[in-house]
């Protein structure tokens, strides 16, 4: 991913790029992920804990699609309170250098909404990624599927 840096724009206000040029590949769209664990429990009452869990949930969906966080080309984030913005930004500041070690961060749109699907939830994060056509690593390699429609005779 290559960041787009318009000459007429100021620096981004946070850990994001104004735009990116994505490599060729398949688009992977991740539905909004919230701060709940696999058992359905909320990761914590604070937005920092929920942001950390929501990002981990995004990473898990990407992994299932054969991607990593560095393949993300866009985030859209929803917070239920503008008062949570500093804590959300702090959670991103802790996580993003691990997810994006090259320091190029995807564009992110941050919206404040009245509520999410459950009242206890404070953050929801959507993502779009590009699954490149590179050869899969040993970690992400999967065995080929057998064609069940062909029967041996």
Q: Render pLDDT for 123-149 as a digit per residue (tens, 0 to 9).
A: 999 999 999 865 554 444 444 444 444
pLDDT at 134: 57
Global pTM value:
0.79
**pLDDT category, 153, cuts 50, 70, 90?**
very low
Cα radius of gyration (the chain): 18
* Predicted confidence (pLDDT) per residue in 42-71, tens digit: 999 999 999 999 999 999 999 999 999 999
> What is the C-alpha separation between 55 and 52, in angstroms, rounded?
5
Instruction: Return mean pLDDT, the chain.
Output: 86
- For residues 118 and 80, what is the distance between their CA atoms, to the nearest angstrom? 11
Q: Quickly state the pLDDT bin for 17 (edges 50, 70, 90).
A: confident
- Per-residue pLDDT, 25: 83
d(CA 34, CA 42): 9
**Residue ranges of domains in the chain, CATH in brackets:** 27-129 (3.30.1330.40)
SS3 141: coil
Q: Which residues pair with 22 in a beta bridge?
A: none
């Amino acid at each position: 991913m290559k960041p787009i840096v318009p000459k007429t724009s100021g620096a981004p206000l946070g850990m994001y790029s104004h735009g990116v040029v994505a490599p060729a590949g398949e688009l992977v769209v991740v539905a909004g992920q919230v701060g709940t664990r696999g058992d359905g429990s909320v990761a914590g009452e604070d937005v920092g804990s929920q942001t950390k869990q929501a990002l981990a949930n995004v990473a898990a969906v990407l992994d299932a699609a054969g991607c990593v966080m560095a393949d993300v080309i866009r985030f859209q984030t929803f917070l239920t309170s503008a008062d949570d913005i500093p804590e959300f930004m702090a959670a991103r500041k802790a996580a993003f250098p691990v997810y994006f070690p090259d320091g190029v961060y995807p564009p992110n749109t941050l919206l404040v909404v009245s509520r999410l699907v459950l009242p206890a939830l404070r953050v929801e994060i959507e993502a779009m990624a590009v699954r490149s056509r590179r050869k899969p690593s040993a970690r992400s390699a999967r065995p080929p599927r057998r064609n069940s429609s062909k029967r041996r005779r």
